[in-house]
Structure 1
Amino acid sequence: MKTKILYIVTVLLLTSSVNVLYAQKRTLALTDALEMAKQGNKTLQIQVLEEINAKEMTRETKGGLLPSISANAGYSHYFDRQVIFLPGSFAGTSKPVQDITVGGKNTYNAFVSLYQPVFAPTKYQLTKASKINEKIQNEKTADLKSRVALQVSTRYLDILMMNRQLGLLEQSLERNIKALQDSRSLLAQGRGLKSDTLRSFIAVANLKSSVSYLKNNIEVSGIGLKKLIGLEDVGEIELTDQLDFDVTTNSSAFYQVEEALQIAEVNRKDLNIQKLTIDLQQKRLKAAQAELLPQLALIGQYQMQAQDDEMKFSEYAWPRTSFLGLQLSVPIFNGNHTRSQINQAKIKTQQEEIRLNDLKDEVKTELATIISKWKEAISQLDIQKTTVKSAELNHQMIDNRFKNSLGSRLELTDAELALTQAKINYLNAVYNLRMLHVELQHALGLLSL
C-alpha cells in the first residue's frame, strides 16, 4: 500500500514538473517580438522620457515670455534706530552734516512685483529653438524605434537560421551514427577497413561538436532577444516564423539607387534629425544676434509698509505705494562676448550642413551596397537551388550503389556530407535575402516597431 502511494505521489510530481516546464515555453512570432520591444525595450523607454523632458524644456522656455509675479514680505527689529544724514541747516544745527535717528524699531514691509517682457527677441528665438529641439527628440525616438526593430529582426532571423541549421546537422548526425555503426559491424566481420571506421567516428565527433555549439549559440541569442524586447520570462522561447522567403513578392521592394535615395530622404529619421539640427543652430544664431537688440519690459509694484516701537498692530498705519512703468535695456558693450557667440553659432551651423551632406553620401552608399548585394544574393540562391538538387541526386545514386554493393560506405558518407553542406549553403542564401530585405527597409526609413 505504501509503495502504491509513493508511486502515485511520484507520478503527480513528475506531471506537475512537466506542466511547469511546458508552461515556461513561450511561442513568439516576429510581429509579436516587435510589438513587445515597442513597450519593453529599456533604451527606448529612456528615449521616450527624453522626449517628455524636451516638452518640459519647451514649456520652461515659453515661460520666459509670460508675466512674472512675485510676493515678498519682511520683518526687521532694530536695536538702535535707523540713521539718516541731513544738512545741518535742515536739522537746525551748525554742522555741515547732521545724523538723525528716525523710524521705529519694528519695521514691516510687503510688496507684490510684476515683470512682463514686451520686446524680448532673445527669449523669443530661444522659444523657437526649444520647439525645434522637441521635434528632434521626437525624430530620435522614431529613429531609435527603427534601429531597435532592425536589431530585433536581425536577432530573430539569426535564431531561425541556427534552428534550421541545427535540424540539418541533427539529421546528418543520425545518418553518420548509423554509418559508424555499419562501419564497426563491417570491421568486426573483417569486411571493412579500420580507416573507414575512424573516418566515420571523426565525422560523428565533429557533428556532435557543431550541434552542441549551435545549441549554445541559440540559447545565448535567445537571451539577447529577450533583453531586446524586454521579456522578463526566464523560460524558453519558441519562434513560430519560417525562414522561407518569397523572392518574387519581395523583389518589388528593391529600387534603383536614385529612386531609393529619394524615398530615404523623405523617411529616414536620421536625415530629418540632421535637417532639424541645422534649423536649431540657425535659431541659436538668431538668439545670439538678438542679444545686440534692446529689450523692453513692463514693470510694476504694489507695496505696504509700517514702522513702530510697539507691537500694537491695531494702531499701525499702513501706507501704500504702487507704480507701473516700462523698463528699457540697451546693450552697449560687453567685451565682444556676444560677437564671439554669434561667430561660434555660424561655425556650428556650417558644421551641421557639412554633416548633412556627408550623411546623404553615407545613405546613398548604403543603399547602393544593399541593392548590389541583393542582386548577388538572388544569383547565389539560384545556384544553391541547383546545387541542392544535384547533391540530392548524387546522394540517391551513391545510396543505390551502396545498397547493391557497388559502392563503398566512404562514398556514401562523402555524398551525405556534401548534401548537408549544400542544404546549409541554400539556407545561408535564403537567410542573406531575408537580412538584406530587412536592412533595405531600415535604410529606406520604412522599418519601425
Structure 2
Amino acid sequence: MKNIQYCLLLLLLAPGFLHAQQRWDLKSCLSYGLKYHRSTRVYQNEKIAANEKAKEALASYLPSIEGTGGLADNIKPQVSIIPAGLFSPTDMKVAFTKRYNTSTQVELNQPIFDQSAIIGLKANKYNKETADLNIRNNDEALIYNISNAYYQVHIYQLQLMLLHANEETYREQLRISELGVSKGVTAEVDLNKIRVNYNNTMSDINVAERNLEQVSLQLKNEMGYPLSEALLIDTLTLTSTLPVPETQRPDTFQVDNRSDFLLSKAKASLLDINAKQTRAGKLPTLSLYARYGSNGFGDKLGQSFSSQNTFSVIGLTLKVPIFNGFKKNAQYQQARIDLLNAQENMKLDADKYKVEYENAKTKLVKAEANVANDNRNIELARSVFESTNLQYQKGVTDLTDWLNAQNSLKEAQNNYLNSLYSFYTARIDLEKANGTLKEYYNSL
C-alpha cells in the first residue's frame, strides 16, 4: 500500500518537476514572452478601446433619444403686467402659472446631413489598423529584446565553459609544478607564475558567473517570466554555435514590411481625415427632431400631477455657419500642415530604413566572416598550445612559451565569443531592419 501511495505521489508531482527541469530554447522563450508579457495585455486592451471608439463615432450619426422631467415649486410666482385699457382702465398684475408645475418630455434627434461626422467615420478603419500595428510593433520589440537577452545568456554560458576548461588546464599544471617543486626540479617562481594565471582565471569565472546571473534576470524580465523562478537555458557547444554559411542574400527589403513605417502611414491617413473633417465643419448641417411630452399645473402638488396636458412636435433643424472669425480656416490650415509634415517625415523614414537595412546586411556579412575566422584561430591556438604543452612536458621548451600559448588560446576564445555575439546581434538587427522579425520567430 505504501508503495502504491508513493507512486501516486510521484505521478502528481511529475508535471511540476518536469516543468522545473525544462530546458528553454529560443523559440520557447519567445513564445512565452509573446503570450505572457504584460505589454501584450496593454496593447490588446488598446485594440478593444479602438473598437469601442469606432462605436462611439458611429453613434454620432445614429438616432439619439433623451427623456427629461421636472418639478417646480413657484413659492412666489412671477407676475406680468397687462397695460391699462386692454382689459381694465388700470394696469393688471397677472401670474401666468400656478405654484406647482410638473413636466415630462421625450425627444428624438436624428442627423440627416453632417459631412464632418460622415468623414469622421472613415477614421474608424485607421484607428483599428493603428491598434493592430501597435500589437505587431510590440510583438516585434519583444522578439528583438528577448532574442538579444537570450544570446547574451548563451555567450556567458560558453565563456564559463571555456574558462572552466582553462581552469582545469591550470589546475593540472599546478599539480605537476607543485610536485616538481617538492622534488627540486621546478623553480618556485615558475609555480607562482602558474598560480597567478590560475587566480586570474578564477576571477574571470567569478565575473562571468555574475554576468550570467544578470543577463538571466534580464531575460526573465524581457519574457515577463517570474524573476524568482529558475529558468534553465539550453547549453550550446562551440560547434553548434557556428553560423551556417549562406549564399548571397537577396535584397528583399520593402519599407512597407516595417510596422513602424505602416504606423506612420496610418497616422498620416488620420491626419488627412482630420483636415477634411475640419474643412467640412464649414458646411451646413441638417437634423430631424421630434418631441412628445406633458405638463401640469396646480395650487397643490397633487393637482400638478393629475392635470397633465400633452403636447408633441416634429421638425427640422438647419444650421448654416456664416462667420466665425476665420477660426475654421485657421484650423484647416494647421491640419493641412500637420499632414504635409507627416508625409515628408515618411519619406525621410523610408530612406533611413533603407540605410539601416543596407548597414545591417553589411554588418551581418562581416560578422559571419569574423566568426568563421575566429573559430579557425581557436583551433590553431589550441593546436599550438597542445604542441607547446607536449614540448614543455618533455622539457624541450620553457614555462614562458607554455604560458604564452595558453594566453593566446584564451585571447582567441575571447575574440570568438565577441564575434559570435556580434553575429547574433547583426542577424537580429537585419531581421528588424527588414521588418521580418515575426517571420524569423516562425522559422525557429
TM-score (norm 1): 0.87
Indicate if the aligned counterparts of 1:27 and 1:239 stay in contact, CA closer than 8 A. Answer: yes
Q: 2:326 aligns with which of 331, 336, 347?
A: 336
Q: 2:146 aligns with which of 148, 152, 156?
A: 152
Aligned pair 1:306/2:296, yes or no? yes
Contact map agreement 1:245 1:433 (CA 8 A) in 2: no
Q: Distance in 2 between matches of 1:349 and 1:88?
A: 68
Tell me, in whole angstroms, the C-alpha distance in 1 between the residues paired with 2:319 and 2:266: 32
Contact 1:304/1:318, CA 8 A, preserved across alignment: yes
Change (3 A) 1:154 1:285: same
Query: How large is the Cα RMSD of the aligned pairs?
Result: 2.4
Deviation at 1:298, TM superposition (A): 0.9
8 A Cα contact 2:297 2:303, kept in partner: no
8 Å Cα contact 2:136-2:259 kept in structure 1? yes
Say whether residues 1:382 and 2:382 are aligned partners.
no
- 1:210-229, aligned counterparts within 5 Å? 210-229=204-223
* Alignment map for 1:360-439 (pairs within 5 Å): 360-439=350-429
Gaps of 5+ in 1: 1-19
Equivalences for residues 62-211 of structure 1 within 5 A: 62-95=58-91, 98-211=92-205
- Aligned pair in 2 of structure 1 residues 405, 309: CA closer, same or farther (>3 Å)? same
Residue 152 to residue 253, structure 1, CA distance change in 2 (3 Å): farther
Correspondence for 2:5: none
1:100-139 per-residue CA deviation (whole Å, 9 max, x = no partner) reads 1233211110000111111111222223224312311210
Q: Cα–Cα, structure 1 residues 241 and 392, in superposed 2: closer, same or farther, change >3 Å?
A: closer
Q: Distance in 2 between matches of 1:313 and 1:253?
A: 94
1:89 Cα deviation after fit: 3.7
Aligned to 1:230: 224
> What secondary structure, in the 3-state scheme, does the structure 1 residue paired with 2:89 have?
coil
Could you tell me whether the CA contact under 8 Å between 2:178 and 2:191 is conserved in 1? yes
In structure 1, the partner of 2:40 is 44
Is the contact between residue 157 and residue 431 of structure 1 (CA under 8 Å) also seen in structure 2?
A: yes
Q: Is the 8 A contact 1:74 1:108 kept in 2?
A: yes
Among 231, 234, 237, which residue is 1:240 paired with?
A: 234
CA distance in 2, matches of 1:26, 1:59: 46
Q: Contact 2:298–2:304 at 8 Å: present in 1 too?
A: no
Higher alpha-carbon deviation: 25-34 or 67-76: 25-34
Distance in 2 of aligned mates of 1:175 and 1:401: 15
SS at match of 2:396: coil
CA distance in 2, matches of 1:138, 1:340: 33
Deviation at 1:435, TM superposition (A): 2.6
Could you tell me how far 1:312 is from its partner in structure 2?
4.2
Paired letter, 1:340: A
Gaps of 5+ in 2: 1-15
SS of corresponding position for 1:322: strand
Q: Residue 193 and residue 22 in structure 1: after superposition, are their counterparts in 2 closer, same or farther (change >3 A)?
A: farther
Q: How many angstroms does 1:400 deviate by?
A: 2.0
Counterpart pick for 1:60 among 37, 56, 61:
56
Provide the rounded CA distance (Å) in 2 between the counterparts of 1:433 and 1:220: 21
Structure-2 separation of matches of 1:302 and 1:203: 97
Residue 282 of structure 2 is aligned to residue 288 of structure 1: no
**Paired residue type of 2:252:** A
Shift of 1:146: 0.3
Equivalent residue number for residue 260 of structure 1:
252
CA 1:199–1:246 in 2, change beyond 3 Å: closer, same or farther? Answer: closer
The letter of the residue matching 2:267 is T
Change in Cα spacing, 1:208 to 1:247, as seen in structure 2 (3 Å) is closer
Instruction: Give the CA deviation at 1:385.
Output: 3.1
Aligned partner of residue 49 in structure 1, secondary structure: helix
Conserved 8 A contact 1:303-1:321: yes
Contact 1:402 1:412 in 2 (8 A): yes
TM normalised by structure 2 equals: 0.88
